[in-house]
Amino acid sequence: MAEAIVSAILEQMTAITIDKAIEAWSLVQGSEKEVKRLETYFKALRLELEDAEEKEYEDKRVKHWLDKFRDVSYDMEDVLDEWETAVQQLQTDPSGSASVRKWKVCPFVSCFSSGSQVVRRYNIATKIKEIKEEVDEIVRDKVRFELIKRKIKQPRRPETTSFVDVSELIGRDAMKEEIISILLCDDKCRNVPTITLVGMGGIGKTALAQLIYNDHRIQTHFSKTIWVCASDPFDQTQIASAILGDLDPDSLISLKKTTLQSALSKISEKLTTEKFLFVFDDVWTERDQDWEPLKVAFKYGMPGSCILVTTRKESVARRMKSPHVVPLQLLSEEMCWLILSQKAFSGRSQASREILEDIGREIANKCQGLPLAAKTIGGLLQDKQGREEWQNVLNNVIWKSSFAHEIFSPLLLSYYDLPSPVRQCLSYCAIFPNSFTIYKDELVQCWMAQGYLNSDDNGRRELIGEDYFKYLATRSFFQDFEKDTSGSIISCKMHDMVHEFVQFLTEHRFVTEEVPRNSTLDISSKRVRHLRLVIQSWDSSPLSICRIEKLRSLVVVSDDETSGDVLQDLLSRSKLLRFLEFDSLHLRPEQVADGMKNLIHLRYLSLISCSGLENLPESVCELINLQSLNLRDCWDLRKLAVGMGKLINLRYLCIKECPLLSYYPKGIRHLTSLTRLSGIKVRVDQSDGNEFRIGDLENLDLLGGNLCVELIGDELNWAEANRAKLHNKIHLKRTDIWICSLNIKKEEVLKALNPPSTLLVELFDYQKWLDFDCARFTRKMMQEKKTEMKIIEKTRIALCVQKAALQFIAECSSGSRKSTSD
């Protein structure tokens, strides 16, 4: 992850030294040598950082060194960003319009020749010098302690075998039977069919494969069964030799020098008389060329031969063209308990089990369906004697526990298999709470705000983010996907264990703190860069929050009345923020306005589900670096800022579910960097020229994904609609158009807009939909009313029956007593 940070800094440096005018260096005059030396250092260190990252969880000194390096890298990034922002502010026309943005012709030195600009130039130069001294020390430490060269035991992929006590494998019987039935069905096709078991590390793929492999029906049905551990690196010759050694040991010995060619020749010869089952466990490679020569040799096997593969990557199944892909599901809580108790109670008495079972079941629930976690924690509990020790394990957060590394070792293997830029994208998910619904587009914008999506082509950054998301999704880091009608992912969640894993990776850098009533917060002992604050009451002002000056992300969640003074204090000391989110706060426009003054680094502003915010303050339009603005679910919002056109770097504007929003400024047409626009009302008639009209989409040709627009007006201006030039929006996948007037016909809109045949356009009559929805709602309410009346009637009858029964019992009892007395 640190390697990716350095790459971002180097890209920034290159942009400064090459793309900008040479005279712009006057801002840091006297610091050119320091900056060049820093660039050299960062380039040299980048080559060694990935190796260092893989050692940081094994050696505390490496971790400490990396933490220092990350800190100074962040500081360098902040200084460079401050420099670029200063240049951009000076070189943008005072009108703030993106359409008239231009470079100044006047000498750059003169732009900074007076007052505050001289001070600013001096401050930036001083900061660069200080950072250079810190980097010098970091380089000396690396050499002094030989941190990177030292041999450290690396997390490795353990070699698996087919040997296992099947009596200890629990919870996969149904899936085992399903796969065995496929294997026993003799398929006469020429190609050897492949069954692929896919799932995250620790979910039990290998255990299920062992169950299947050792089943007596499998051993009887196939004349040859061979188990191959195919972990990374994928060595074709070694794998072919292992298969040949099992098929015919003498043939392997007879080969003086085993080459891939000689081994495969012998294999293809031997397989002509064998109906085989090959199990390739723990496959990581996705390269077609790794599998191709093996698959050709396997075709010589007898009909009915099969291959069973286990992998963490869906892409492996696609590469192998598996007709049967079996995604492994999480185990039930009961199954996790059985696995855990099998280990934990080994050698214990029944009495001990009865004393500890209630706590043990709660601990099993923490395993979240992962059998490896249940087995590992069960082994840990073997040495814990009484309830108090078991209670301590239960109360421990797994990622903070002493056994965290052992539980997370399978996930660490998957993590280190990721490219460095994708690693930091995964780590950033620690900012979200457990079981949180993560919206894909918003996540990509978060990554972009932090500078994780580097590309020479500025327009490709969202596409890179989508690729990274898919990369993580296919490796089981995300789950519970919600998709749109076209099959594209809208949102997802993280498995609880994966979420704890990313918290383990980012301890002290990503922090979530709940601030209860009548308390304060001190995080000065941590290296916090990303903070989520959950504030129960603003009466208990968290004024003692220390060390927040270097925050890069701040999320504030609260449903209480917001204190303007506390908010102002919080933002005034968090000047380096890239990402700021207020979630469910009650905000007044002036509170937002006051907090925006010093946030020159801000890339992403998210005001989601905030009440009380009736208009977007004009001060937001001064955030020159802002790339993403999210106003989703702001139900009180009525008006966007008039100066929206100043946000020349804005790429993402989300205004979905803002039902009262009625004013969209015409300046939006200047936001030519927009790649996503979610939920907007556009006028289609000849109305006031100060409002956004459908023709103002004309120059927004970078728009991609799904565009949803609502047409306002009682008549359609054909020339205005045609001016939208939908045929130039080549990145759009789908456009949903809602027609609000009964006077405007769908056919007219479609003809006027003239979209390309490749663009999916859906048209909706809003009024008809509303009438239908109201009618449907009325029918539903009537049905619920009828159901309610039936329940009331049944309850009344039941009460009457009950009353009659009680009366009958009372009478019988009275008669019995009378008879007795007689």
For 729-783, the pLDDT digits (tens) are 998 988 988 888 888 888 888 888 888 888 888 888 866 555 444 444 445 555 6
| H or E segment and range at residue 535 | strand 530-535
CA 769 to chain centre: 35
Q: Could you tell me if 175 and 310 are in contact, meaning their C-beta atoms sit under 8 angstroms apart? A: no
Report whether 74 contacts 529 (CB < 8 A): yes
Structure tokens at 8: 């971002």
Cβ proximity of 637 and 614 under 8 Å? yes
Euclidean distance between CA atoms 216 and 394, whole angstroms: 40
SS3 state of residue 283: strand
Backbone angles phi, psi at 531, to 5 degrees: -130, 130
Rounded distance between C-alpha atoms, residue 68 and residue 189, angstroms: 59
Pairing of strands 276-283, 224-229: parallel
The number of beta carbons lying within 10 Å of the beta carbon of residue 374 is 31
- The closest alpha carbon to 512, from 429, 570, 447, 568, belongs to 429
Q: 655: how many CB neighbours lie within 10 A of its CB?
A: 21
* CA separation for the pair 433, 555 (Å, rounded): 11
Distance between CA atoms of 423 and 18, rounded to whole angstroms?
A: 29
Whose CA is closest to 466, among 406, 494, 425, 499?
425
78 close to 552: Cβ distance less than 8 angstroms: no
User: Distance of CA 122 to CAs 108, 119, 570, 604, Å?
Assistant: 15, 5, 27, 29
User: Rg of the chain over CA atoms, in angstroms?
Assistant: 33
Calpha distance 814→33 (Å, rounded)? 109
Please state at what angle helix 60-91 crosses helix 32-53, rounded to 10 degrees: 140
The reported pLDDT for the residue numbered 18 is: 37
pLDDT-flagged residues of the chain (< 70): 1-52, 54, 57-58, 87-122, 144-158, 166-168, 186-190, 232, 397-403, 456-459, 517-526, 538-547, 562-564, 687-688, 766-822
* The amino acid at 498: V
Residue 296's CB: how many other CB atoms inside 10 A? 11
Q: Where are the alpha helices (DSSP H) in 307-460?
A: 314-319, 333-344, 350-365, 371-381, 387-395, 404-416, 420-427, 440-449
Which helix or strand (DSSP H or E) is residue 710 part of? strand 705-712
Asked if residue 580 lies in contact with residue 605, where contact means CB atoms within 8 angstroms, the answer is yes
- Token pair recorded at residue 162: 């087919």
Cα 718 to Cα 699: distance, rounded to the nearest angstrom: 18
Beta bridge partners of 639: 615, 663
Q: Where are the alpha helices (H) located in 428-510, listed in sequence order? A: 440-449, 461-473, 496-505
- Res 630: pLDDT: 96
* 395-446 tens-digit pLDDT: 876 656 666 777 787 788 788 888 888 999 999 999 999 889 999 999 999 9
> DSSP label at 332?
P
Helix (H) or strand (E) holding 677: strand 676-683
Q: Is 373 left (phi over 0), alpha (psi -120 to 50) or beta?
A: alpha
Q: Residue 417: its pLDDT value, please? A: 82
